[in-house]
C-alpha cells in the first residue's frame, strides 16, 4: 500500500530527521534524486539546456544543487532567480560548478525546465512574478520537472487556486503528498517519482492511502474447495425501471463478472425481460408491488441505478434499507435518500457511490466546490451521513469516518461514459456480498473497475458493457501469481491532460 501525507505531516517528519543529521543532508539527498530524474529525461546530459526556476524556499535550494550536479556533467544550466531571496549556499555551489544566472528569456531555448518556485507549504493562488513564470513555462512545450510539488498546487489538498505548473514529472521528496494524488492537483503532476530521503520511520499515520496490486491480491475473495454459490455471496439488485432497463442489465452484469455466487434481481417487467435475456444466471423476481419480501435471502443489496425517483421507487428503497444487510446506494437511490435522509437511519452498513453532483444534493453543497476540493467534501459527507462514500470522478476517492481516505489510481478518461457507474455498483456490491467491508469493497471495486476500463479501452472509446466484460481479465491479472507492478498501478497522470 502506498501512503501519502499532508504538508504539516511531512514537515514534522523532516524536522525530527534533520535534528539527527548534519545540516544540509536532506537537501543533498533530494538534489541527488532530482538530478538523476532530470538526467534521465535529457538523455544526453552533455550540452543539454536546462533552466531552473528558483524561488525563495528550500525547493529553490534543491533545484540549485541539482543544477550543480547537472552542470558538472556538462549540461548548460541557467537559473532564473524569481524569489525575494535565494538559497545562498545552493547558489554559490551552482555558480562554482559552471551554472549561470539568466533571465526568463532563456526559457525559449530550454530542453528541460525545473520548477523550484514554491514548495509544500504554499497555498492559494501564485503571486507575481511566479504566476507569469509558470504560464510562460507551460507555454514553452519543453518537459517540466516539478520539485516536490508543481507550483500552484496545494500539496495537502490538491486544490489549484489559479495558474499552476503542468509537470511532465514531479519528483517528490521523502513521501507522497496527498495533493499530488487527488484532482485537480493530480492533473498537474504528470509521472510521480519518489526520492527516499530517510523519512520513513518518522512519518505519522497516513492522510491518504493508495491500494496496489499486491493489496488486492490479499484482499479479493477466492472460492475454496468447499465453496458453493451461497457461500460465494448472494447479492440482491434493485435497479432499473420501465425507462431505464439498461441500468439493471449493467449492474447485474458487473456483479456476476466480479464473482458474486448468485445475483437475485428484483424489478418490474421491462427490466426483468432485459436482465433475463442478457443474464440467464440471475435469479429473477418480478415485482408487482414495491416489496422485497419474496426475493429471498441475500448478503448485500445494490439499490438505485435507473430505479426512478417516484413513490414506487421510494417504497422499494425503504424496504431494501429496512433490511439487516449492507446496502450500496447509487444513482436514483441517492436522489431518493437526498429527499428523505431518514432512509439512511439504519444499523447495517451503507456504501454510497455518488458523483460530485449527487453528493452536492446529499450534503447541500455546490458541485463546483466539491470538484475543486474532493477530499474535504468526501470526508465531510462520510462524517455527516455516517456512511462510507465512494466519490466518483476524475479522481475516485473512498472515505469512511476515522479511516485514511483511499485514492484510486487506476482508470482512464474513457470511463466517462453512460452506464459505467452501474457496472461499478454491481462490482462493489458483489464484493460486499462476498464479505468485504464497505471500505474495502469500495476501494477494491474502484481499482478493478478502473483496471477493467483501461483494458477494455486500449486507448479507444468504450461502452459500459465492455467494462463488465473485461472484469474477469482484470481480476485474473491480480490473482494470477505475477508480482510485477505494471502501468495499471503506476502513479502517473499525464493522460488526464489529453
| Residue spans of alpha helices (H) in 364-463 | 367-372, 374-385, 420-433, 438-457
115 is in an annotated binding site: yes
Strands 405-408 and 396-399: antiparallel
Task: Find out whether 124 is annotated in a ligand binding site.
Answer: yes
As a three-state string, the secondary structure of 178-206 is: HHHCCCCHHHHCCEEEEECCCCHHHCCCC
121 annotated to bind ligand: yes
Report whether 401 contacts 389 (CB < 8 A): no
The annotation status of 120 as a binding-site residue, yes or no, is yes
Q: Name the nearest CA neighbour of 62 among 39, 33, 97.
A: 33
**Binding residue per annotation — 125?**
yes
Q: Are 58 and 28 in contact (CB under 8 A)?
A: no
Pairing state of beta strands 396-399 and 388-391? antiparallel
Q: 3-state class of 491 per DSSP?
A: coil
Do 287 and 307 form a contact (C-beta atoms < 8 A)? no
Closest listed residue to residue 451, CA positions, set 493, 494, 408, 422: 408
314 is in an annotated binding site: no
Would strands 76-81 and 100-101 be described as parallel, antiparallel, or unpaired? parallel
Question: In degrees rounded to 5, what are phi and psi of residue 237?
Answer: -125, 115
Taking the C-alpha atoms of residue 76 and residue 56, their distance in angstroms, rounded to an integer, is 22
* Residue 299 to residue 327: CA distance in whole angstroms: 9
Any binding-site annotation on 58? yes
Rounded Cα distance between 264 and 236, Å, is 5
Contact in structure between 10 and 177 (CB atoms under 8 Å): yes
Cell of 282: 440471475
The answer on whether 422 is annotated among ligand-binding residues is yes
Residue 396 in marked binding region: yes
Residue 253 annotated as lining a ligand binding site: no
284 annotated to a ligand binding site: no
Evaluate whether 323 touches 299 at the Cβ level (below 8 Å): no
Peptide bond into 129 cis (omega under 30): yes
- Does 151 belong to an annotated binding site? yes
DSSP structural state of residue 287: -
447 is in an annotated binding site: no
C-alpha cell at 327: 446496502
Long-range contacts of residues 25-28, Cβ cutoff 8 Å, at least 24 apart: 26/173, 26/174, 26/197, 26/198, 27/58, 27/61, 27/62, 27/65, 27/90, 28/65
| Annotated binding residue 247 | yes
Answer yes or no: is 59 a known binding residue: yes
Check whether 148 is labelled as a binding-site residue: yes
Q: Quick check: 89 and 24 in contact, CB under 8 A?
A: yes
301, β-bridge pairs: 236, 327
Name the binding residues for (6S)-NADPHX. 58-62, 119-125, 130, 148, 247, 306, 355, 422
From the annotation, which residues make up the binding site for K(+)? Answer: 59, 115, 151
Annotated binding site for AMP: 392-396, 421
Binding-site entries: 58-62, 115, 119-125, 130, 148, 151, 247, 306, 355, 392-396, 421-422
Amino acid at each position: 500500500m502506498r501512503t501519502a501525507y499532508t504538508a504539516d505531516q511531512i514537515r514534522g517528519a523532516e524536522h525530527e530527521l534533520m535534528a539527527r543529521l548534519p545540516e544540509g543532508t536532506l537537501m543533498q539527498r533530494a538534489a541527488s534524486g532530482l538530478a538523476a530524474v532530470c538526467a534521465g529525461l535529457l538523455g544526453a546530459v552533455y550540452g543539454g539546456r536546462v533552466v531552473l526556476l528558483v524561488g525563495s524556499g528550500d525547493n529553490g535550494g534543491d533545484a540549485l544543487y541539482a543544477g550543480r550536479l547537472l552542470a558538472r556533467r556538462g549540461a548548460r544550466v541557467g537559473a532564473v532567480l524569481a524569489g525575494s531571496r535565494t538559497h545562498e549556499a545552493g547558489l554559490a555551489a551552482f555558480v562554482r560548478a559552471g551554472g549561470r544566472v539568466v533571465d526568463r528569456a532563456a526559457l525559449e531555448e530550454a530542453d528541460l525546465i525545473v520548477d523550484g518556485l514554491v514548495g509544500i507549504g504554499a497555498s492559494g493562488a501564485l503571486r507575481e512574478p511566479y504566476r507569469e513564470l509558470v504560464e510562460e513555462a507551460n507555454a514553452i512545450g519543453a518537459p517540466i520537472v516539478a520539485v516536490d510539488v508543481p507550483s500552484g498546487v496545494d500539496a495537502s489538498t490538491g486544490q489549484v487556486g489559479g495558474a499552476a505548473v503542468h509537470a511532465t514529472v514531479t519528483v517528490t521528496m521523502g513521501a507522497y503528498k496527498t495533493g499530488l494524488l487527488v484532482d485537480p492537483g493530480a492533473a498537474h503532476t504528470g509521472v510521480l517519482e519518489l526520492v527516499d530521503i530517510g523519512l520513513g520511520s518518522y512519518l505519522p499515520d497516513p492522510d491518504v492511502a493508495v491500494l496496489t496490486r499486491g493489496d488486492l491480491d490479499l484482499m479479493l475473495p477466492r472460492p475454496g474447495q468447499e465453496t458453493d454459490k451461497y457461500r460465494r455471496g448472494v447479492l440482491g439488485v434493485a435497479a432499473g425501471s420501465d425507462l431505464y432497463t439498461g441500468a439493471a442489465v449493467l449492474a447485474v452484469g458487473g456483479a456476476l463478472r466480479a464473482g458474486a455466487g448468485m445475483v437475485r434481481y428484483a424489478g418490474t417487467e421491462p427490466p426483468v425481460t432485459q436482465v433475463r435475456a442478457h443474464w440467464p444466471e440471475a435469479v429473477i423476481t418480478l415485482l408487482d408491488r414495491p416489496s422485497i419480501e419474496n426475493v429471498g435471502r441475500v448478503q448485500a443489496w445494490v439499490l438505485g441505478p435507473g430505479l426512478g425517483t417516484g413513490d414506487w421507487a421510494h417504497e422499494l428503497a425503504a424496504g431494501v434499507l429496512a433490511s439487516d444487510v449492507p446496502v450500496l446506494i447509487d444513482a436514483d437511490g441517492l436522489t431518493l435518500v437526498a429527499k428523505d435522509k431518514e432512509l439512511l437511519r439504519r444499523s447495517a452498513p451503507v456504501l454510497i457511490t455518488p458523483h460530485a453532483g449527487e453528493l452536492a444534493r446529499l450534503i447541500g453543497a455546490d458541485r463546483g466546490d466539491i470538484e475543486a476540493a474532493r477530499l474535504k467534501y468526501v470526508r465531510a459527507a462520510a462524517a455527516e451521513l455516517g456512511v462510507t462514500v465512494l466519490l466518483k470522478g476524475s479522481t475516485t476517492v473512498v472515505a469512511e469516518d476515522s479511516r485514511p481516505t483511499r485514492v484510486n489510481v487506476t482508470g482512464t478518461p474513457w470511463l466517462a461514459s453512460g452506464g459505467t457507474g452501474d457496472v461499478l455498483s454491481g462490482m462493489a456490491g458483489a464484493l460486499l456480498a462476498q464479505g468485504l467491508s464497505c471500505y474495502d469493497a469500495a476501494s477494491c471495486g474502484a481499482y478493478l473497475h478502473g483496471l477493467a476500463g483501461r483494458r477494455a479501452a486500449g486507448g479507444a472509446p468504450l461502452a459500459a458493457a465492455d467494462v463488465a466484460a473485461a472484469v474477469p481479465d482484470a481480476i485474473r491479472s491480480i490473482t494470477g501469481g505475477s508480482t510485477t507492478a505494471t502501468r495499471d498501478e503506476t502513479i502517473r497522470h499525464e493522460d488526464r491532460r489529453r
